[in-house]
């Protein structure tokens, strides 16, 4: 449903008073007026300027107000007079503007637009002075003309930079202010020459951007000045070579710098807003040629003071605003620098928090926190976020940058140290996904940049167990919970101020970087989303494999799952995939039962509800016992119950959970003699390096399932589903800084898996602002082939309408719509296997003139000859019926060619019809339609007869399709 011209209700973080936490409120956002644009904000970031005006110290307070000015989003609608932007454009709202008409905008030397120059006291829009935000009719003030702490905002068109739609908005959003300001201050204003020295005052985000500019410019010495020594190590990544903390000296810092450089630095850039830092930055530059550039925003009553001789001695003092960049003209080019890898932005983003926790971001900024790891100092005590040193990898070791990690019950178990040997201080964590940063001696099958999952167990590929097809219990790398160092030398690669920190399970993924033995690293498909597949490092693989690899239920059998946590539900998922007819969930927490239905569980038993052992309950309800059982709790009583509830003669019980060290399994020998089988499994019997990559592929692959989802009665839908679903296991995600919150959730029995992003990974999805938006459908389809598509919750469109409009299906959960590719088939097709008798006759005009048949043409796919889909492109056949006004091609092609065929049609002049994302047209009306639709392994194209030769030639040249 189009929202253009309507008031939008959405969430916004409102500052009601200075210094008080922001409140998440529902606000009304009015439509854009003349020369205004309404933007859906997808990503926003926190800048120190937001905190500064929120504090309202030294500035005029203006509340209630929606802060925020660093963001990226998509144009939702435009007002009168806007000609160079349209709905669907990817944009960065900028706190300053460019009208393109005033003297400053027409000058090559200034970006200080007369019309849109920053005005911190303006709380409304330029057009009429009114706010576009309100709550129950009460206006809410704008901030810097952007107010990006709102899901939708209205901005003057002159403050909107249109950027490359391929640029990741979660990264380039920081170019809206801080990064551009700092980087531009150096490269555009200070302009250091190669080999010169530069001092950077303030090593926050803007200062580090300035340092990055100095590094790119070829500065030989980059001296970082900051009161926070914890920032120094991080600053090295941005080229900073030396550090000065003014607290460490009994003289002004400018004198210290003059002494250490033999007269002063060639350039300095001040990025703090402190008036004293500004003075120091100027007085530390060399006389004769020194240039100092001031960036930070001072208090309104501050005054810059220095002796005039400092100027007379041929030093230069400059101020810069937004790095001297013109927002609309220059920022798109800066984005291209990032896209071309000339400018690194990823390393600037150290935290990511949900919008609902925006106040946490304020706390982090006020605390000056940067990169950290989580350390458990004592059993059962909250983990402490610490800065650690991570040594380089040694022989047969790999150092990995962890991008996503998750919490498993095993982490909690060893953190509590109940029944296990305590080993502290320690960095826990063993479920994660990351990228290889470096490798040690002897590592040949991994290299920097590889996407990997570190695994808590290993595969040396040389011992008897690794060479056996029946075991994954590697002799060299078998799990050892008491080992706190690396196998190579027994030493830890982690330390704090020289003190070693113990490893955990050889992985220790609760650290931004970790060192792991190469045998414990699974190299995976780089296209796999690490925030999802990271859970395969332990729990999901353990549970799923316990069922499919060890219990091996047959289709139609019954199975009992003990424990409906993440591992247990993974075991249930394995049972569902295997075709079990009854899946009985056993858990002490009844809150888990409803959730378990999503994983195929059909019945539930809570031992608390019965006055007899649960195994007896299950034997009675199943008439002798279940065929299989999988125990996933670690409780010794659950293990015994899981064994004693299986049917005699053929019953198999599989034990998964980790028991306490003093536990003993006890049962009467007759239970075994009656031909029950008891098995244990470790990591689902998967070999880490050999098998886990293929498990990842199960997640990446899709299978064809039948569904209807409200389609017309004469149509049937085949939905492409994943062979292994992981998304439903991840119920929470918290910032790494709030890792203890995840421990609380698990101890409370809430949720399944909680992931912690160290930095937001590139999403393996396409973000579409609304199904009926006017964004580029060509872009949308090309990007979304074989991927999931994320629709906002606000998208108000029925499932049936969306399917009809875009050829997609919608699967909803509590927070978002997940859209996957679908295909529509004629109701005569009862199974995915086609037969010759099912061929639709479209060989004559009379047939096509029948509305029922004509409508089915665009939704029917039939192979020309064979009953089975061909496996090789050389086998493809094409059937081209001869008709007067509408020609039809049925071309079979594997799914991997779908995106290429789509792109090629667009490149050859076709465009997609707005009413259907699968339709390509070159003219008006049905006679000018070319249809491209994805149905399992089949692509259908229906061009107009005058364009037959074009498509035939393309299919022949590109896909070697015969019979054209």
Distance CA 240, CA 213 (A): 11
Q: What is the dihedral of CA 614, 616, 618, 620, to 10 degrees?
A: -150
Distance CA 110, CA 620 (A): 84
Write down the catalytic residue from 173, 177, 474, 771. 177
Say how far residue 921 (Cα) sits from the centre of its chain: 35
Q: Is 69 a catalytic residue?
A: yes
Q: Is 372 a catalytic residue?
A: yes
Q: Is 249 a catalytic residue?
A: no
Residue 713, classified by CB atoms within 10 Å of its CB into exposed (0-12), middle (13-18) or buried (19+), is exposed
**Which tokens go with 412?**
């909690």
Say how far residue 645 (Cα) sits from the centre of its chain: 42
Distance CA 46, CA 148 (A): 10
- 730-733 vs 753-757, strand pairing mode: parallel
Write down the catalytic residue from 38, 48, 426, 517. 48
Q: Is 463 a catalytic residue?
A: no
Write down the catalytic residue from 76, 99, 493, 753. 99
Name residue, tokens 């859906």. Answer: 40
Name residue, tokens 């029948």. Answer: 850
Write down the catalytic residue from 25, 28, 65, 69. 69
> Helices 358-367 and 48-55 meet at what angle, rounded to 10?
100
Q: Is 47 a catalytic residue?
A: yes
Write down the catalytic residue from 25, 36, 38, 47. 47
CA distances for 513 relative to 423, 483, 765, angstroms: 21, 19, 26
**Which tokens go with 494?**
């982690």
Q: Which of 173, 157, 150, 131 is nearest to 47 (CA)?
A: 173
Write down the catalytic residue from 113, 466, 632, 645. 113
Phi/psi for 881 (5° steps) reads -65, 150
Distance CA 531, CA 730 (A): 9
**HEC string of 357-424?**
HHHHHHHHHHHCCCCCEEEECCCCCCCEEECCEECCCCCCEEEEEEEEEECCHHHHHHHHCCCCCCCC
CA distances for 481 relative to 453, 548, 567, 569, angstroms: 19, 27, 20, 25
Q: Is 142 a catalytic residue?
A: no
The strand pairing partners of 434, in sequence order, are 402, 452
Say how far residue 591 (Cα) sits from the centre of its chain: 29
**HEC string of 152-180?**
EEEEEHHHEEECCCCCCHHHHHHHHCHHH
DSSP label at 688? Answer: H
Q: Which of 623, 625, 624, 589 is nearest to 604 (CA)?
A: 589
Distance CA 799, CA 812 (A): 10
Q: Is 817 a catalytic residue?
A: no
Q: Is 389 a catalytic residue?
A: no
Q: Is 105 a catalytic residue?
A: yes
Write down the catalytic residue from 65, 231, 372, 451. 372
Number of CB atoms found within 10 A of residue 730's CB: 20
Greatest CA separation for the chain: 101
Q: Is 474 a catalytic residue?
A: no
Write down the catalytic residue from 10, 86, 117, 667. 117
91 membership: H or E segment, kind and range: strand 90-93
Write down the catalytic residue from 105, 271, 474, 771. 105
What is 238-306 written as a DSSP string? GT--EEE-GGG-SS-HHHHHHHHHTS-BSEEEE-S--HHHHHHHHHTBPTTT-EEEE-SPPPTT-----
**HEC string of 39-63?**
EEEEEEECCHHHHHHHHCCCCCCCC
Name residue, tokens 């001072």. Answer: 298
Q: Which of 403, 756, 754, 753 is nearest to 543 (CA)?
A: 753
Write down the catalytic residue from 3, 44, 49, 514. 49
CA distances for 656 relative to 197, 546, 642, angstroms: 61, 7, 11
Q: From its phi and psi, is residue 306 left (phi > 0), alpha (psi between -120 and 50) or beta?
A: beta
Cβ atoms 879, 871 nearer than 8 A: no
Write down the catalytic residue from 25, 28, 36, 70. 70
Q: Which of 794, 859, 784, 778 is nearest to 819 (CA)?
A: 784
Q: Which residues are catalytic?
A: 47-49, 69-70, 99, 102, 105, 113, 117, 177, 372
């Amino acid at each position: 449903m189009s929202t253009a011209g309507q008031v939008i209700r959405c969430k916004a973080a409102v500052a009601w008073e200075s210094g008080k936490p922001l409140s998440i409120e529902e606000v009304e956002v009015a439509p854009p007026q003349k020369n205004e644009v309404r933007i859906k904000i997808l990503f926003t970031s926190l800048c120190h300027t937001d905190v500064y005006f929120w504090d309202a110290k030294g500035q005029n307070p203006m509340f209630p107000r929606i802060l925020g000015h660093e963001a990226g989003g998509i144009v939702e609608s435009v007002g009168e007079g806007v000609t160079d932007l349209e709905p669907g454009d990817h944009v960065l709202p900028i706190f300053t503007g460019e009208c393109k008409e005033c003297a400053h905008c027409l000058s090559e030397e200034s970006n200080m637009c007369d019309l849109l120059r920053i005005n911190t006291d303006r709380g409304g829009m330029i057009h009429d002075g009114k706010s576009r935000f309100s709550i129950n009719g009460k206006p809410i003030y704008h901030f810097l003309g952007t107010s990006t702490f709102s899901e939708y905002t209205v901005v003057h068109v002159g403050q909107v930079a249109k950027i490359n739609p391929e640029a990741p908005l979660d990264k380039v959003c920081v170019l809206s202010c801080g990064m551009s300001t700092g980087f531009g201050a150096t490269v555009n204003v200070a302009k250091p020459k190669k080999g010169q020295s530069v001092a950077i005052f303030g090593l926050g985000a803007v200062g580090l951007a300035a340092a990055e500019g100095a590094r790119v410019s070829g500065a030989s010495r980059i001296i970082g000045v900051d009161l926070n020594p914890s920032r120094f190590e991080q600053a090295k990544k941005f080229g900073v070579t030396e550090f000065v903390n003014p607290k460490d000296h009994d003289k002004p810092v400018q004198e210290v710098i003059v002494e250490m450089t033999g007269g002063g630095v060639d350039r300095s850039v001040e990025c703090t807003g402190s008036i004293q830092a500004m003075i120091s930055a100027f007085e530390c530059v060399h006389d004769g040629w020194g240039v100092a550039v001031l960036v930070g925003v001072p208090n309104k009553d501050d005054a810059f003071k220095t002796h005039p001789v400092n100027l007379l001695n041929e030093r230069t003092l400059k101020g810069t605003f937004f790095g001297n960049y013109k927002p609309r003209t220059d920022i798109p080019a800066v984005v291209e620098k990032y896209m071309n890898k000339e400018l690194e932005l990823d390393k600037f983003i150290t935290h990511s928090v949900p919008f609902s926790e925006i106040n946490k971001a304020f706390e982090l900024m006020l605390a000056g926190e940067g990169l950290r790891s989580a350390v458990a100092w004592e059993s059962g005590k909250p983990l402490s976020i610490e800065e650690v040193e991570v040594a380089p990898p040694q022989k047969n070791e790999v150092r990995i940058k962890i991008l996503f990690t998750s919490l498993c019950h095993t982490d909690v178990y060893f953190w509590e140290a109940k029944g296990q040997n305590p080993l502290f201080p320690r960095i826990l964590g063993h479920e994660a996904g990351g990228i290889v940063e470096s490798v040690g001696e002897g590592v040949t099958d991994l290299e920097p940049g590889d996407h990997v999952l570190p695994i808590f167990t290993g595969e040396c590929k040389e011992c008897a167990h690794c060479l056996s097809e029946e075991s994954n219990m590697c002799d060299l790398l078998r799990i050892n919970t008491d080992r706190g160092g690396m196998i190579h030398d027994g030493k830890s690669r982690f330390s704090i101020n020289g003190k070693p920190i113990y490893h955990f399970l050889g992985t220790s993924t609760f650290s931004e970087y970790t060192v792991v033995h190469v045998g414990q690293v699974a190299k995976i498909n780089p296209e796999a989303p690490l925030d999802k597949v990271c859970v395969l490092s332990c729990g999901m693989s353990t549970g799923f494999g316990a069922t499919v690899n060890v219990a091996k239920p047959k289709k139609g059998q019954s199975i009992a799952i003990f424990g409906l946590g993440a591992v247990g539900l993974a075991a249930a998922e394995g049972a569902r995939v295997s075709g079990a007819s009854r899946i009985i969930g056993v858990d002490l927490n009844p809150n888990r039962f409803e959730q378990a239905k999503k994983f195929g569980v059909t019945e539930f038993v809570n031992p608390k509800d019965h006055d007899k052992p649960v195994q007896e309950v299950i034997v009675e309800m199943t008439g002798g016992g279940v065929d299989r059982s999988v125990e996933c709790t670690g409780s010794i009583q659950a293990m015994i119950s899981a064994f004693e509830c299986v049917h005699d003669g053929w019953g198999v019980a599989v034990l998964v959970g980790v028991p306490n060290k003093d536990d003993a399994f006890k049962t009467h020998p007759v239970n075994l003699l009656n031909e029950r089988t008891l098995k244990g499994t470790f990591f689902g019997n998967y070999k880490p390096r050999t098998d886990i990559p293929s498990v990842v592929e199960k997640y990446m692959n899709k299978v064809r399932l039948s569904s209807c989802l409200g389609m017309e009665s004469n149509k049937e839908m085949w939905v492409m589903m994943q062979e292994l679903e992981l998304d439903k296991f991840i119920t929470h995600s918290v910032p790494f800084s709030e890792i203890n919150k995840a421990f609380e959730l698990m101890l409370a029995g809430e949720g399944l898996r909680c992931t912690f992003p160290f930095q937001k990974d590139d999403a393996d999805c396409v973000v579409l602002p609304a199904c009926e938006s006017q964004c580029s459908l060509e872009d949308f389809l090309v990007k979304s082939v074989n991927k999931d598509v994320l629709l906002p919750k606000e998208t108000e469109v029925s499932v049936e309408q969306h399917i009809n409009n875009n050829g997609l299906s919608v699967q909803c959960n509590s927070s978002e719509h997940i859209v996957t590719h679908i295909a529509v088939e004629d109701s005569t097709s009862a199974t995915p296997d086609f037969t010759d008798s099912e061929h639709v006759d479209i060989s004559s005009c009379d047939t096509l003139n029948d509305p029922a048949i004509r409508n089915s043409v665009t939704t029917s796919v039939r192979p020309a000859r064979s009953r089975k889909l061909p496996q090789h492109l050389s086998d493809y056949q094409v059937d081209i019926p001869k008709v007067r006004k509408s020609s039809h091609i049925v071309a079979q092609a594997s799914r991997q060619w779908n995106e290429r065929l789509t792109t090629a049609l667009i490149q050859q002049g076709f465009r997609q019809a707005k009413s259907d994302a699968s339709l390509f047209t070159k003219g008006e009306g049905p006679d000018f339609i070319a249809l491209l639709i994805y149905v399992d392994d089949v692509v259908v194209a229906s061009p107009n007869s005058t364009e037959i030769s074009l498509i035939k030639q393309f299919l022949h040249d590109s896909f070697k399709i015969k019979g054209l």
